[in-house]
Structures are given as C-alpha cells and as structure tokens.
Amino acid sequence: MTAFNHKFHHTVLREYDIRGVIGDTLNPEDAFAIGRCFGSIIVREGGKKVAVGCDGRLSSPDLEPQLVAGLRACGLEVLRVGTCPTPMLYYAAYALGTDGAAMVTGSHNPPDYNGFKMMLGKKPFFGAQIQEIGRMAAEGDVVPVSTEGSDRHVDIADDYVTRMLQDYDGGERKLRVVWDPGNGSGAEITRKLAERLPGEHFVINGVIDGTFPNHHPDPTVMKNLEQLIEEVRKQEADLGIAFDGDADRIGVVDDEGHFLFGDQLLVVLARDVLKQHPGATIIADVKASQVLFDEVEKAGGKPLMWKTGHSLIKSKMAETKAPLAGEMSGHTFFADKWYGFDDAPYTAVRLLGIVARLPEKLSDVRKALPQLVNTPELRFDCPEERKFQVVQEVKDRLAAAGAKVQDVDGVRVLTEDGWWLLRASNTQAVLVARAEAKDEAGLERLKHDIAAQLQASGLAAPDFSGENTGH
C-alpha cells in the first residue's frame, strides 16, 4: 500500500472546524487527507460507520467524494446523506447510529470558502483533536487497511422534518411566518417545514445556490436581514426566521421587523423550557446581556455564563445536563426533547410553538425586556502571538486594581455602569470587545475603560463611533 502523508496550510486547522479558501488554502487533496486521518481515529475508537453530508457551495461536490474516499480507505462504511444543513447531519449520526459524522461546509463564510465540521461518536470534535489531524497527516499516522470500506446514499430529509415536527406544540393558532434560508443548504428543509407546519408560510431565497446571489448567509448582520424585514412587514407576519449558510445558526425578526438578538431569543426560549424543567441550568456565552442572566433567574432557572464557541457550549451542556443553551452568534442548543446540538430549523419549530401560545405579540415580549444600551460585538486585529497575552496583561492590571472580574473567557468587568468584555478569538487573529450599560453616558465610560486598557498594552483602541445599539 502507498505510504500516506500530507501537509495542510497552516491557517485551515481551527479551534472548532477546518476551513479555508478553495484553490488557495484548501483543496480536494486536503479533503482526502481529512477523511484518511479522521477515519483512522474512528477506527481506533472501535468505530465502523460514519455519516457524511455537504452544503450547497459550488466546491462541495469536489470535496465530498474525496472525503468519502479517505474514509473508505480506512475500511469504514460511509452513509452519504447528500446536500443538507449541518444539523441534519448531526441528526443522522443519531438516527443512523453512526460512530462519527463529517460535514463539508463553509458555514457563513464567503462563497470561495469551504471546510469541515465533525463529530466523534455523539460528541463535538474540536480543539486539540483537530490539531491531531494535522500531526497524523504529516507523519502518515493512519490505520493500514486490507479491505476498503463502502459507501451508499441515504435520504433522511423527510425523517428529520417529521422528527422535528413531533415537538411542535403551538396548538390551534395559525401563524404567518416568513422564512429566509439565505440560499444556503437549509433551503430544502425550510420548504419542507413550511409545507407541513400549520399557518401561512412565505419562503424567500429558498433555492440552494452556492453563489449566495441575494445576500451573505449570516443572519446576525443587520444588512443581511433587510429582505426578511421587508417581507415580514409586507406580509404582516407574526415573525421572520433566517438561517446561516449551513443552518446551524438562527436569526429572528419580530412582527414589527425588529431583530431579536441571540440573548433576547434565549430569554423567550428559556422561559418556556423552564416551565417543564424548573430550576434547570441555562447556558449562555460571555457576550450575552446581563438581562438574559437576570431573566433566567427570574424564571426559576440557574443561569450559567460559559466560554464562546459552539463545541465548548455543547460539551458544557452535556456536563451540566442543561436543557437549553445559546450564543449571541445565533447557535442555539436544545437538549430538552432534542439531542443537544446546535440546530436552527429545530429552534425555529420550538419558537413557532411558543409564539403561537403567547397571549401577546413577539414584539411585546421584546419591548417588555429591560432596555439597556450596548455595543455590538467589536472585532479588531491583534497579532496571533499577542492576543492571549494582551488579555492576560489586562487581567493582571485589573486584579491589581481590585476590579470585579469574571474570567470564564477573557475578562468581563463589572462596574456600577454595567460591564465590558475583552476576549481573544479562538479562530482569528483578533480581539473581541463588547460593553453594556444602563444609559449612553455609562456606556461611554465603559468604552473609555476598554480603550485605556488596550493602550496600556500598546494597542490602538477600536473605533467605537456609531457602534451603540439598544436592547
């Protein structure tokens, strides 16, 4: 058998997934190497069967067969579920009883990107595990195989939709709903849900198109929601729902066309889940508003602030037995009736059930939440070798000054005005900042604090002008 070794571009092996620019930092040879190494890990864990899916990007049909070939070269049986949203592949791992799963997806990145997300057993595959793939490829540390594996196509789309609809609990009220899957790989599933859910449903950008002709598939960026907001108002809909490129993140617009931030959405979901699970832990990432943590407590839950990153959140959920978790980025995780992975279509089904049972409009729920002023997530360049060091320097100075700091992920500093956050991105050479206060004057003081700390570490402060939002 031919010796195997392979070297990846130094930028593609990331904290939560593998991702790069097609024809530049990522190519089909990489896909084969990923299959060969990830498959070897599955075999060494005693596994025999793996599920594979892909998103609707133009490069996915080139990468998916090579990934399958690499897995087959390890002697594995590969179940190919075809073009699908990432959460449908996660679902396949449970429904088909596989020992792992691998998804070809560029998520919400521009059209020239693609990548891979993986599960080992029923757990996220990330961090040091992804770096291990790089080592194995470089050293040729893969399982020898005397008999090549096999592959077959499996269609589970209708089964996935049927299983999601089992948990719809909206009663008799018929909603008007606008959906925008953003021409991403969740488009077909969106149409199937729209056909089978009660009420009136309007789907825009509902054809899978890897060029993303209408807007970039990231539902947390306001510009990408303009079409959805316009359609919600035109149809006088009860709400609008958007997905990212592989439908593991959700964006929600209320009946007035206002965006619900990830933490506001989590308040709505948590209140409902806590009726069935009083006293349960609800997890959110460090970027979430203090309003979320306060509202979870008011609803009888135990709020838990945790590190940003969908793989980290999933692991913490399993550890704490939390029925629900969410991130500002729109990743939402149900372990109540579901499987604990981030699934935007499933979150939509649960949300529609809640809205159909509400005595008031979704906009009324949003407006009743405490109104604070805050910055959006601010990202600014910092050299890779400096980013964690800068956060540590800030932490040390704050400790010396006796500041009140939560250090779950970076530093979240509590003051009389509110709080500010500084953390290093796990996936890019950037620092991330955010601040929230009771009023504009307080927010300005918090932004000044962030700028002062950055300057003390020799960095220019980000441009905060015009960055305030209210929620």
Active-site positions? Answer: 107
Residues near 384 by Cβ (< 8 Å), separated by ≥ 6?
429
Q: In the beta sheet, which residues pair with residue 175?
A: none
Residues 6+ apart with CB under 8 A from 22: 59, 112, 113, 114
Q: How far apart are CA 113 and CA 22, in angstroms?
A: 6
Q: Structure tokens of 439?
A: 């009023």
In the chain, the N- to C-terminal Cα span, in Å, equals 61
